């Protein structure tokens, strides 16, 4: 009996690995200096180590939450009102698309591109009562939740502030005002809903701030879309896009600088979309002609 | 004259105005068909449509075409190049009989190969609509399609991977870091393929040189591809760039392909240009196509046809050009086309089945976006099912996270999992290389070395001061 017992104990000891031996680390993890890709994660057997598995799950959970968390419209409206923008009224107008809820929104992009009737009437009533001017505006800024509410919740007010500064500086420089329409917020909206809002407001151009499809490492990415002469039925061909606006991506300052360039060009040439090229300096891609890299280093 | 289709269930008569409507309503439920307004209104109508479709003779598909012959070069390709001799063995069957025939004990790899050119995409799509997931797996596994360039893809007991080292700004060292990671995890036998961050020809050429030099320096029996528009690749070839494979996204109607900026003659021109370089060593399959359900609707070019039938028609375009790889990027397009894990899994199995039945080297980008109702568990399920079905290849990205395209696909680890539980190996030429390089250390299972193989240790030496 005793022998058998001790034999069993020995077998158990043989397979008992210390926790540090359970994961094979990859020495090339240091190459993460070159890329945000999840390289050199190491392995347990041939599988992901537990910490990496959970880190991935967290990133996915944050991206999912970004899609499904409803926008806190009141807080956002308060944030925007407190910017004291040169608009009347200072409180943003809160609107809703034809997509009643998130599940419908995700499956019916067509409904997210249109205002519901209540929202259409709301704008018309504000114009009839004189609370909103019926005169032409140069620009409407339309804030749309899109696919990431946190992109809008966290970034929209600060970005609008930076934009307002650019617009003010530009007006001072050229002695020509940018007449800004009241800010609008659209829930369950897609980019194209901005065209309908802007055309109801009689704006010559629209800048839509929308929550982008969240990436695993970028749940809070905001996109800006410019359209000249916005009206129903336009497609992406008529729009200019500035993407990946977020604290860890393109800064609010750089994004509003680019937007200002496009707005000026758009107003001068009365165009937007593929015909309007962004010629601000960018470092979007590594344009070095050599393919030299560490894998090809000579001995 | 298009026939009308009807079915009587109890006291109710169901009418289907056209073959397109019947096919659409017989399709297992998915969001893209609802968005297009072509899906069955009720579950009962869907099954009645399936019963009606099962009664349709296969011959009907040669006369009652989904998109008019005069309007669509894909229809003309399907009809004009139909092999009536190969069709003979199944020409007497209905769609329902065809399912039984495919599942029959007497029908094996050789029989399936013999009829392949006699099957039209619509016949494959129709029968898939009345097949369960296990049927799609069982028949696909019986099909065997091989293709070759510097290695052989699609042999029995093999599962290949595309090493996808994308980087949001095409940073050369960033891409090289992901390539190294992939190679050391045994990935890259299907192709080393980069989605470039911009549509710039010079940029594409630089990336082509990068991969070509890596392949040469380490003597890797694989091929490279920059996934840029076919016209860019032709320009690169004219500029003397080292092009192995020509990439292009394709769809199942002429109008879809127009929206992609291609037609059949342009694809033929690109194929000839790549063949003229004569860079393959064990074969000359030089084309790499990507497809995916929903592309036709997304381009507003679907003619009221369901998205799965449109997808199958894209395979007619693919098989015209003897590709090395055909990849259905199943979950990339978003939840308005495939809503959740269940719809993505079904679509992946359908596409793989239809592609293999039509004679294509079919792989699958097992993937999803963050706004779809899907997660890693759904991908594990689809990966395992496709592995069982004999899928030719899958993607490989570091940690399943593509930081350029912002979606999740299978990781290097995932491929090793599938190879391990299903006893699958990489392409034979690449497998020999993995052993020679001391990356794989066990002949029988995917067992990785725990140290850095010598030939790569040199490249990493400059970083040794910082911890390597």
> Per-residue pLDDT tens for B194-207?
999 877 899 899 99
- pLDDT given for residue A205 in this prediction: 98
- pLDDT given for residue B391 in this prediction: 98
Total domain count, chain B = 2
- pLDDT given for residue A14 in this prediction: 59
CB neighbours of residue B261 within 10 Å: 12
* Residues 84-113 (A) with a CB less than 8 A from some CB of B: 106-110
Q: Are A289 and B202 in contact (CB under 8 A)?
A: yes
Q: Indicate if B201 and B96 belong to the same structural domain.
A: no
Start-to-end C-alpha separation, chain A: 63
- pLDDT given for residue A249 in this prediction: 85
Q: Indicate if B248 and B335 belong to the same structural domain.
A: yes
Residue B269 counted as domain residue: yes
Q: Which of B29, B82, B49, B66 is nearest to B301 (CA)?
A: B66
Closest residue in chain A to residue B32, using alpha carbons only: A107
The two tokens of residue A41 are 């994660």
How far apart are the CA of A93 and the nearest CA of chain B, in angstroms? 27
Count of all residues that appear for chain B in the document: 468
Give the nearest partner residue to B177 out of A39, A57, A287, using CB atoms.
A39
Q: What CATH number is associated with residue B389?
A: 3.20.20.70
Q: Which residue has the higher pLDDT, B20 or A248?
A: B20
User: What span, in angstroms and rounded, lies between the C-alpha atoms of A33 and B174?
Assistant: 8
Using a CB-CB cut-off of 8 Å, the residues of chain A touching B207 are 291
Q: Are B61 and B123 in contact (CB under 8 A)?
A: yes
> Per-residue pLDDT tens for A7-35?
555 555 556 778 888 999 999 999 999 99
> Per-residue pLDDT tens for B117-162?
999 999 999 999 999 999 999 999 999 999 999 999 999 999 999 9
- Name the least confident of A2-11, A59-68, A118-127, B54-63: A2-11
CB-based contact B35 A108, cutoff 8 Å: yes
Residue A1: pLDDT band with limits 50, 70, 90: very low
Q: Indicate if B317 and B429 belong to the same structural domain.
A: yes
- pLDDT given for residue B300 in this prediction: 83
- pLDDT given for residue B354 in this prediction: 98
Residue B79: pLDDT band with limits 50, 70, 90: very high
Q: Indicate if B61 and B128 belong to the same structural domain.
A: yes
Any long-range contacts for B440-443 (C-beta under 8 Å, 24+ apart)?
B440/B186
Question: Beta strand B224-226 with B191-194: parallel, antiparallel or unpaired?
Answer: parallel
- Name the least confident of A75-79, A115-119, B61-65, B456-460: B456-460
> Average pLDDT for residues B168-190, to the nearest whole number?
96
* Residues 231-270 (A) with a CB less than 8 A from some CB of B: none
Residue B225 counted as domain residue: yes
Residue B464 counted as domain residue: no
> Per-residue pLDDT tens for A192-224?
999 999 999 999 999 999 999 898 988 899 999
Residue of B167, B170, B194, B370 for testing the chain A interface, max A β-carbons within 10 Å: B370
Residue B454 counted as domain residue: no
User: What span, in angstroms and rounded, lies between the C-alpha atoms of A72 and B170?
Assistant: 37
| pLDDT for residue B409 is more than 70 | yes
| pLDDT for residue B336 is more than 80 | yes
- pLDDT given for residue B1 in this prediction: 41
> Average pLDDT for residues B334-353, to the nearest whole number?
97
Q: Indicate if B261 and B381 belong to the same structural domain.
A: yes
> Per-residue pLDDT tens for B34-43?
999 999 999 9
- pLDDT given for residue A289 in this prediction: 57
User: What span, in angstroms and rounded, lies between the C-alpha atoms of B311 and A205?
Assistant: 39
Residue B4: pLDDT band with limits 50, 70, 90: confident
**Which of B140, B169, B200 is where one domain is finished?**
B140
Q: Indicate if B114 and B233 belong to the same structural domain.
A: no
Closest residue in chain B to residue A218, using alpha carbons only: B406
Give the nearest partner residue to A293 out of B172, B336, B407, using CB atoms.
B172
User: What span, in angstroms and rounded, lies between the C-alpha atoms of B179 and B166?
Assistant: 9
Task: Give CA angle at A239 (A238, A241), nearest 5°.
Answer: 160
- pLDDT given for residue B169 in this prediction: 86
The two tokens of residue B367 are 């993937």
Residue B37 counted as domain residue: yes
> Per-residue pLDDT tens for A148-187?
999 999 999 999 999 999 999 999 998 889 999 999 999 9
Q: Does A293 touch chain B (CB under 8 A)?
A: yes
**Which of B115, B140, B165 is where one domain is finished?**
B140
- pLDDT given for residue B449 in this prediction: 85
| pLDDT for residue A282 is more than 80 | no
Q: Are B140 and B389 in contact (CB under 8 A)?
A: yes
- pLDDT given for residue B446 in this prediction: 78
Q: Does A285 touch chain B (CB under 8 A)?
A: yes
Count of all residues that appear for chain A in the document: 299
Q: Are B287 and B324 in contact (CB under 8 A)?
A: yes
User: What span, in angstroms and rounded, lies between the C-alpha atoms of B394 and B412?
Assistant: 10
| pLDDT for residue A288 is more than 60 | no
Using a CB-CB cut-off of 8 Å, the residues of chain B touching A291 are 172, 206-207, 209-210, 213
Q: In the block, which residue shows the tokens 């991969």?
A: B211
Q: Which residue has the higher pLDDT, B462 or A81?
A: A81
User: What span, in angstroms and rounded, lies between the C-alpha atoms of A266 and B185?
Assistant: 50
> Per-residue pLDDT tens for B296-332?
988 888 899 999 999 999 999 999 999 999 999 999 9
State whether ipTM is beyond 0.90: yes
> Average pLDDT for residues A92-107, to the nearest whole number?
96
pLDDT averaged over chain A? 90
How far apart are the CA of B336 and the nearest CA of chain A, in angstroms? 4
Q: Indicate if B172 and B293 belong to the same structural domain.
A: yes
Q: Which of B331, B334, B462, B417 is nearest to B159 (CA)?
A: B417
Q: Indicate if B136 and B152 belong to the same structural domain.
A: no
Residue B288 counted as domain residue: yes
Task: Give CA angle at B377 (B373, B382), nearest 5°.
Answer: 90
The two tokens of residue A169 are 């500086």
Q: Which of B380, B444, B448 is nearest to B181 (CA)?
A: B448
Q: Indicate if B130 and B200 belong to the same structural domain.
A: no
- pLDDT given for residue A91 in this prediction: 96
Closest residue in chain B to residue A41, using alpha carbons only: B399
Q: In the block, which residue shows the tokens 């690449």?
A: B430
- pLDDT given for residue A2 in this prediction: 47
Question: What share of chain B has pLDDT > 90, as a percent?
Answer: 89
The two tokens of residue A204 are 């010559």
* Parent domain of B384: 147-436
User: What span, in angstroms and rounded, lies between the C-alpha atoms of A137 and B29?
Assistant: 46
Closest residue in chain A to residue B299, using alpha carbons only: A235
| pLDDT for residue B342 is more than 90 | yes
3-state SS record for chain B: CCCCEEEEECCEEEEECCHHHHHHHCCCCCHHHHHHCCCCCCHHHHHHHHHHHHCCECCHHHHCCCCCCCCCHHHHHHHHCCCHHHHHHHCCCEHHHHHHHHHCCCCCHHHHHHHHHHCCHHHHHHHHHCCCHHHHHHHHHHCCCCEECCCEECCCCECEEEECCCCCCCCHHHHHHHHHHHHHCCCCCCEEEECCCCCCHHHHHHHHHHHHHHHHHCCCCCCEEECCCHHHHHHHHHCCCCCCCEEEECCCCHHHHHHCCCCHHHHHHHHHHHHHHCCCCCCCCCEEEEECCCHHHHCCCCCCCCHHHHHHHHHHHHHCCCCCEEEEECCCCCCCCCCEHHHHHHHHHHHHHHHHHCCCCEEEECCECCCCECCHHHHHHHHHHHHHHCCCEEEEEHHHEECCCCEECCEHHHHHHHHHHHCCECCHHHHHHHHHCCCECCCCCCCECCCCCHHHHHHHHHHHHHCC
Pick the CATH number of A70-275 from 3.40.50.720, 3.40.50.2000, 3.40.50.11240, 3.40.50.1000: 3.40.50.11240
Give the nearest partner residue to B370 out of A47, A216, A284, using CB atoms.
A216
- Sequence ranges of the domains in chain A: 26-68, 70-275
CB-based contact B370 A106, cutoff 8 Å: no
């Amino acid at each position: 009996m005793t022998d058998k017992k001790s034999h069993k104990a020995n077998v158990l000891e043989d397979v008992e690995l210390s926790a540090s031996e359970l994961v094979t680390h990859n020495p090339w993890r240091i190459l993460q200096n070159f890329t945000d890709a999840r390289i050199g994660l190491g392995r347990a057997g041939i599988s992901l180590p537990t910490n990496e598995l959970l880190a991935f799950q967290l990133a996915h959970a944050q991206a999912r939450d970004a899609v499904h968390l409803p926008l806190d419209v009141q807080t956002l409206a308060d944030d925007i009102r407190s910017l004291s923008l040169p608009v009347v009224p200072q409180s943003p107008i809160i609107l809703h698309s034809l997509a009643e809820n998130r599940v419908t929104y995700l499956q019916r992009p067509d409904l997210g591109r249109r205002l519901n009737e209540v929202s259409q009437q709301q704008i018309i009533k504000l114009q009839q009562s004189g609370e909103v001017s019926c005169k032409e505006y140069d620009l409407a800024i339309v804030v749309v939740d899109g696919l990431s509410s946190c992109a809008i919740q966290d970034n929209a007010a600060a970005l609008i502030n930076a934009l307002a500064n650019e617009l003010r500086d530009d007006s001072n420089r050229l002695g020509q005002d940018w007449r800004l329409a009241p800010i609008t917020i659209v829930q369950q909206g897609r980019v194209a809903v901005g065209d309908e809002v802007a055309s109801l407001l009689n704006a010559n151009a629209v800048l839509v701030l929308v929550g982008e499809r969240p990436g695993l490492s970028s749940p809070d990415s905001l996109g800006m879309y410019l359209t000249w002469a916005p009206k129903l039925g336009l497609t992406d061909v008529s729009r200019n896009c500035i993407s990946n606006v977020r604290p860890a991506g393109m800064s609010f300052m750089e994004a509003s600088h680019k937007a200002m360039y496009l707005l000026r060009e758009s107003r001068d040439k009365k165009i937007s979309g593929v015909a309007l090229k962004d010629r601000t300096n960018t470092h979007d891609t590594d344009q070095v002609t050599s393919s030299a890299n560490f894998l090809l280093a000579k001995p | 004259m298009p026939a009308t289709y009807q079915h009587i269930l109890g006291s109710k008569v169901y009418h289907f105005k056209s073959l397109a409507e019947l096919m659409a309503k017989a399709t297992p439920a998915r969001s893209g068909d609802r968005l297009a307004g072509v899906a069955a209104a009720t579950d009962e109508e869907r099954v009645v449509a399936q019963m009606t479709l099962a009664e349709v003779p296969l011959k009907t598909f040669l006369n009652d075409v989904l998109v008019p012959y005069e309007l669509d070069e894909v229809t003309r390709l399907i009809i004009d190049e139909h092999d009536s001799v190969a069709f003979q063995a199944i020409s007497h069957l209905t769609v329902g009989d065809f399912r039984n025939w495919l599942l029959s004990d007497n029908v094996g790899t050789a029989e399936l190969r013999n009829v392949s050119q006699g099957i039209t995409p619509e016949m494959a799509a129709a029968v898939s609509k009345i097949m369960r997931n296990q049927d799609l797996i069982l028949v696909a596994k019986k099909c065997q399609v091989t293709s070759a360039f510097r290695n052989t893809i699609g042999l029995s007991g093999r599962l290949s991977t595309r090493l996808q080292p994308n980087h949001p700004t095409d940073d050369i060292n960033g891409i090289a870091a992901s390539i190294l990671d992939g190679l050391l995890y045994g990935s890259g036998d299907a192709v080393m393929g980069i989605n470039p961050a911009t549509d710039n020809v010079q940029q594409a050429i630089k990336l082509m040189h990068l991969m070509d030099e890596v392949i040469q320096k380490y003597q890797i029996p694989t091929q490279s591809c920059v996934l840029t528009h076919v016209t860019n690749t032709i320009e690169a070839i004219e500029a003397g760039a080292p092009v192995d494979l020509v990439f292009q996204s394709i769809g199942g109607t002429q109008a879809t392909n127009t929206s992609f900026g291609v037609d059949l003659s342009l694809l033929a021109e690109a194929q000839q240009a790549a063949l003229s370089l004569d860079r393959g060593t064990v074969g000359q399959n030089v084309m790499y196509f990507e497809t995916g359900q929903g592309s036709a609707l997304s381009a507003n070019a679907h003619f009221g046809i369901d998205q799965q039938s449109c997808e199958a028609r894209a395979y007619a375009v693919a098989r015209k050009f003897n590709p090395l790889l055909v990849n259905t990027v199943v979950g990339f397009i978003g939840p308005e086309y495939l809503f959740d894990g269940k719809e993505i899994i079904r679509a992946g199995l359908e596409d793989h089945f239809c592609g293999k039945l039509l004679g294509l080297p079919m792989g699958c980008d097992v993937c999803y976006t963050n706004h779809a109702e899907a997660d890693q568990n759904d991908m594990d399920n689809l990966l395992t099912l496709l592995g069982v079905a004999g899928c030719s290849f899958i993607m490989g990205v570091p940690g399943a996270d593509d930081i350029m395209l912002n979606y999740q696909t299978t990781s290097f680890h995932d491929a090793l999992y599938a190879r391990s539980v299903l006893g699958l190996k990489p392409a034979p030429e690449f497998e020999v290389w993995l052993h020679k390089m001391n990356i794989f250390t066990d002949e029988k299972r995917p067992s990785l070395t725990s140290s850095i193989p010598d030939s790569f240790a040199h490249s990493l030496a400059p970083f040794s001061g910082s911890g390597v």
